[in-house]
Structure 1
Amino acid sequence: MADVQLEHGYTKIANELLDVIQHFQFTQNQYKLLMALWRNTYGWNRKECEFSLSYIESVTHLERKRVSEALKTLIQNNVILEVNPGSKNKTKIVSFNKNYDEWSIKQYKSSGALPTSGQDDTSGGMTTRSSGETPPSASGQSATHKRNIKNNIKNNTTTKNAYEGASDGVSTTDPVRGDSIEGNSVEEISHTPEVQIQKLLDGFVEVRSHGLITSADDYQQAKKIIESGISLENALVWMKEKFDSYQPKHPNKRINALSYCVGYIFDRHIEKQEKENSHDKTTVHQYRGRNGGSAGKGKSAEQAYRELEASRKAWGG
Structure 2
Amino acid sequence: MSIKDMKLGRRLALSALGLGIAAPRGFAQTGAYPSRALKLLVGYPPGGGADILARIFANKLSPLLGQPVVVENRPGAGSTIAAASLASAPPDGYTLFFAESGILVGTTIYDKVGYDPLTLTPIGALGNLPYSLVVNPAFPANTVRELIDVLKASPGKYSYATPGVGNIAHLSAEMFQKAAGVQIVHVPYKGGTPALADLISGQVPICFVSLPPALALARSGKLRLLAVTSAKRSPVAPDVPAISETLPGFNAAASIFLLAPPQTPAAIVDRLNAAMCTVMAMPDVLSDFTAQGATVETSTPQELAALFRQELKSWGSIVKSAGVRME
Question: For the pair shown, which has the larger CA radius of gyration, 1 or 2?
Answer: 1
Q: What TM-score results when the alignment is normalised by the length of structure 1?
A: 0.22
User: What TM-score, normalized by structure 2, do the two folds share?
Assistant: 0.22
Higher-RCO chain (CA-CA 8 Å, sequence separation at least 6): 2
